[in-house]
Copies of this chain bind each other. A is one copy, B any other.
Amino acid sequence: MKGERFSFQLLKEGEHGRRGTITTPHGAVSTPAFMPVGSQGSVKALAPADLQEVGTEILLCNAYHLYLRPGTEVIRNGGGLHRFMGWEGPILTDSGGFQIVSMSALGKVEPEGVQFRSHLDGSSHFLTPEKVVQIQEDLGSDIMMTLDDCPPYPASADEAKAAVELTTQWAKQSQGVKANNGQALFGIVQGGVYPELRSQSAHELMEIGFDGYAIGGLSLGEAKEVTFEIAEHVTALLPMDSPRYLMGMGTPEDILAGVRIGVDMFDCVLPTRCARTGVLFTSSGRLNIKHARYSTDTAPLDPACGCYTCRNFSRAYLRHLFLARELLAYRLNAVHNLFYYHSLMRDIRQALSEETMEQFVRAFVSPRGDTGDTSEDKGGETVC
């Protein structure tokens, strides 16, 4: 590790959200922040140089994926994850608890840890909370996540309570073995859709004490209103002076909603996954580049956008690349979508600083959905 130790500075807090700065051994992150997802050590179709250009300040990688392939040893021996993937900025590693259950065959939660078979080759693995910390210390990420028990939705109150208790126990074990090396460790609040269990989980984690707190186990199938009711219930409990991370969300609308209830960090595969299906985020709503209407359209994706893609290419060219399955399509689309996300975060931070969030939200909502390219436009949801 190099540079400064992890810290969080809350710059401003109001009824519409918080402005802050996270300091890590690999640099600072302005919050609210969006983290592009590079599960396997690469944000799909993008090089580190692109990420810098689109404004990425912190990446998310996945310890589960990297542990299975190429293996922790390979990365540790290669000088750690930053050097391995050529990214000098901050990295948060997810523990993989969620992926183990959702992706691997025979994923099974036991009191001592998680038993599973690799989704790649069927090999058997058993990961304890301590081992998961060790993996992330070997990777050398700036922010590590504890192993948590994230039951699938819907979970009964009994199931959710058991998951909270195991998550607390594992969080305690994780904090107990963590090296004092400048890497941060975040706890993950569970408790399903049950406010009292969320309270229990948050209080137990705060008692152990973490560098930051994540809200896990949401956006698994529950109604969107429930998601944000629960998330708001949790953020109201969490300490002011620690960063809060709403895991795996979401759409631009989700992010705005999350910011307004006091979330500082977000991650989602949406901008890069949509890029690969031809769905682009623009200042006037989603645009599906496959549509015939763009076949002769010489305008950029978004005339209001300053990204490399919009500065250099027309919708007609991007449509052509996509239909011809040219690899460049996925990259140019990803550059645009991440630039959009990071610009959104920058605008949000500015509105928070200048206390103009109400106007910002009104202006954000009004012009949207007018391309009509995706049926989800009107509801503010994107499935790509």
Contacts and interface: CB of A to CB of B under 8 A. Distances in A.
Given A327-B331, A331-B47, A316 B74 contact: yes
B332 A69 contact: no
Contacts of A375: none
A323 interface: yes
A307 to B, nearest CB: 12
A44 B326 contact: yes
A49 interface: yes
A118 to B, nearest CB: 13
Interface of A: 40-42, 44-49, 69-70, 73-74, 77-79, 84-86, 295-296, 298, 308, 312-314, 316-317, 319-321, 323-324, 326-328, 330-332
Given A45-B327, A328-B46, A317 B85 contact: yes
8 contacts: A41-B321, A44-B327, A69-B320, A70-B295, A70-B316, A74-B320, A78-B314, A84-B314
B317 A40 contact: no
A106 B232 CA distance: 65
Q: How many copies does the complex hold?
A: 2
B298 A79 contact: yes
Given A41-B317, A44-B326, A320-B41, A296 B77 contact: yes
Given A316-B70, A316-B78, A42 B323 contact: no
A47 B327 CA distance: 10
Contact of A312 (B78, B86, B314, B331): B86
B323 A69 contact: yes
